[in-house]
Structure 1
Amino acid sequence: MYYQIFKRFPGLIFELVDYRPEQAQNYRFESVEVKETAFRIDGVFLPPAGATPRIILFAEVQFQKDEALYHRFFTESLMYLYRNQSEYDDWYCVVIFPSRSLLPSDTRTHRIFLNSNQVQCIYLDELSTSNQQPIGINLMQLTIASDEVVADKAKQLIQRVQLESTKSLPKNEVIDIITTIAVYKFSSLSREEVEAMLGLTLDQTRFYQEAKAEGREEREVEMLKVTVPLLLQTGMSVEQIAQQLSVDVKSVRLAAQENT
C-alpha cells in the first residue's frame, strides 16, 4: 500500500520531514537492488537530473514489531551509498511507524544514526488529523484509522479532494488510493456496501478497473486450461485454437504445456 502511495506521490515524503527541496515533486520512488548482496531496499527517493545538491532519501514503513529493523535498514542504506558514491551529495533516512509502540527496543546500537539529523522517525498517530494537514498526510493517516471511523474519514477526505486536489495530488489518483484502503480494510463487504460507504461508484476508480481486469484474466486462464486440451485432441493446431478462442498464441501454448 505505501509503495503505491509513494510511487504515485513521491513529493509526499517531504511533507513528513523537515526538508523541502525545490524539485520535491520531481523525485522518483523506486525499489532498488544493491549489487552483489541479497538486500533489496523497498523505498529509495532518487533526485531528479540536475538537482543541486543531489540528496537521496531512504524510507521504511514499519507496521509490525521488528527488533532487527535498524540493523537491516541502516545496513541496506549504507551499502547502497557505498555502491553508488558518484550519484549523491547527501542522504537522509526516514522511518514511518503507526505509533511508538513498534519502535525496536535497542536504540543504543544505532544511536549515532538515531540521534543525528540524518535520520527522522515519524509516528502517524501523533500527527494532527485536522484538515489543515496536507491531503497526502491525511491519506497516510487513513491507513491507521480504526474500523469505526475509517468510513467517515474516507468520505471526508474524498470530499476534500474534490475541492482541493492539485497537480501534484490529482483527484483521481488520490481517490484510487482511498478506495484501495477502504476495500482492504473492509474485505468482507460487498461492492455495493463499499460504494454506499464511500459515496462513489467503484466502476469509476482505477482500483476496481484493475481488479476487474485481473479477475477476467484469471477466468480466461482457467477456461483455457479446460478448453485447450480438448481442442488439441480434435487435431486443431495451437494457432487455430488461438484464432477460434480469440486469444493470443502464447496463452494457448502455456495452457497446453500445463496439461502435458
Structure 2
Amino acid sequence: MKTDSIFYRLFQTFPSAFFELINLQASEANAYNFASVELKQTAFRIDGVFLPVADTSSQPIYFVEVQFQKDNEFYARLFSEIFLYLRLYAPTTDWRAVVIFPRRSLEPTQVQPYRVLLESQLVTRLYLNELGEVTEYSLGVGIIKLVVVNKKQTPILVKSLITKTRSEVSDKALQKKVLDLIETIVVYKLPRISRQELIKMFGLGDFDIKTTRLYEELKQETTLELVMRLLPRRIGNLSPQLSERISQLSIEQLENLAEALLDFSTEGDLVVWLQDNLTQT
C-alpha cells in the first residue's frame, strides 16, 4: 500500500486538514481544488496539487509530496517535477511546496544544491511524529496523525477518531467514507489484524470489513511483503523468475504460501508448491 494514495484520499476528504498543517485557516481550502497531476510525456506524477479556483487566482499553487521512505534523490525529483510543471502549464501565480515526512530521519541529508530553496518560504517541511496532541486538532489532522502513531497507541486513537466522526459528521455518506478511510489506515499499519480485532477496535458488532479494490490491494501488498521477507530466511535468495511468479499470486494463495513456507528447506520445495497450487487454480 502506497502512503501517497492514503494521503490523496485524505486530502480529498479533508482538504482543510492540509491548510491546518501549514498553520493556515481551515477555510483556505474553500479557495482550492485538489488533484493529482501527471506530467505529460514523462514518468513524473506529483502526489497532490492544490490549485486556486478561478476567482481567487492571487492565491499560490501548493505542491504536496508525501515521502515515507529514505531516498537521497527525493529533492532532485521533487524540484524537477515542480519546474517541469511550471514549464508545461505556465501558471501566473506564485507557488509553494509542502513536503510531508513521517519523521526527520527519512529526510535526505545531502541537500546543498537545494539549500536556497529549502531555506526559503517556498518550501515547508512537515514531520508528522512532531505533531502535538491529537485533541488539539481537527478530525482530518487527527486521521493524519493516525498514519504515524505507534501500534500500541493505534487502538486508542482509532476509538477517539471514530467518536469524533460520529459526533462531527452528520452526513451519513461522508461518515461512511471517513470510517472507511480510518479502516484503510488501520489495515495498512496492522496488516495481520483479524476481523474480530477490527470489530472490537471500531466498537461495532455488525461491522464488516470492506471488500473494495483498495482494501484487497492493501491486503495483497502487505501479505506479499511478508512472504518475500520470510522466504529468503528459509531457502536463501530467490531468482527473479520465482519472485515474479510469487508476485502474481492471489491474496488467498499468498496467505497459504505464508503458512506453507515454514516447512520449506530448499528452493525445490517452493517450486513444487507453486506447481501444485497454480495447477489447482
TM-score range, shorter chain: 0.7 to 0.9
Structure 2 counterparts to residues 1-260 of structure 1, below 5 A: 1-20=6-25, 23-25=28-30, 27-85=32-90, 87-165=91-169, 170-200=174-204, 201-203=206-208, 208=210, 210=212
Identity of aligned residues (%): 39
Determine if contact 1:16/1:137 at 8 Å carries over to the other structure.
yes
Secondary structure of the residue that 1:104 maps to in structure 2?
Answer: coil
Relative to its length, the structure with more helix (as a share) is 2
Secondary structure of the residue that 1:147 maps to in structure 2?
Answer: coil
What's the CA shift string for 1:178-211, capped at 9, x where partnerless? 11111222222322221112212433xxx71525
User: Which 10-residue stretch deviates more, 91-100 or 30-39?
Assistant: 30-39
- Size of the aligned set, in residue pairs, is 210
Larger radius of gyration: 1
Q: CA RMSD in A?
A: 2.6
Task: Give 1:137 deviation, angstroms.
Answer: 1.2
Task: Give 1:131 deviation, angstroms.
Answer: 0.7
C-alpha distance in 2, partners of 1:59/1:106? 21
C-alpha distance in 1, partners of 2:93/2:166? 39
Task: Give 1:89 deviation, angstroms.
Answer: 1.0
What's the CA shift string for 1:65-90, capped at 9, x where partnerless? 111111000110111012111x3411
Secondary structure of the residue that 2:186 maps to in structure 1?
Answer: helix
C-alpha distance in 1, partners of 2:26/2:197? 42
Determine if contact 2:19/2:28 at 8 Å carries over to the other structure.
no
C-alpha distance in 1, partners of 2:179/2:31? 21
Write out the 4+ residue segments of structure 1 that deviate beyond 3 Å after TM superposition.
Answer: 18-23, 211-215
The verdict on how the C-alpha distance between 1:199 and 1:88 changes in structure 2, with shifts beyond 3 A counting, is: farther
